[in-house]
Amino acid sequence: MRIRRANIADVTTVLALIQELAEYEKAPSEVVAKESDLNSTLFAADPRVFCDLVEVDDEIV
């Protein structure tokens, strides 16, 4: 298991995880974020939010 900071190549996966959580919470329509939103939020010059990911056998879980 490895914990690492998300990078710009992970944006599609991060958005998929957000959508999966929203479906689990029975609120899929609440997700209004787009990949471009995550890019500008997570990878701004001075970001206010961060995203860590867990990998098991080179797969994000």
CATH for 33:
3.40.630.30
At residue 18, the pLDDT reads 98
At residue 19, the pLDDT reads 98
Helix, strand, coil percent content, the chain, rounded in steps of 5: 45, 20, 35
State the residue range of the domain holding 16.
Answer: 2-60
Domain count, the chain: 1
If you count them, how many residues does the chain have?
A: 61
26-43 residues labelled b (16+ CB within 10 A) or e (exposed): eeeeeeeeeeeebeeebe
List pLDDT tens digits, range 3-61.
999 999 999 999 999 999 999 999 999 999 999 999 999 999 999 999 999 999 999 99
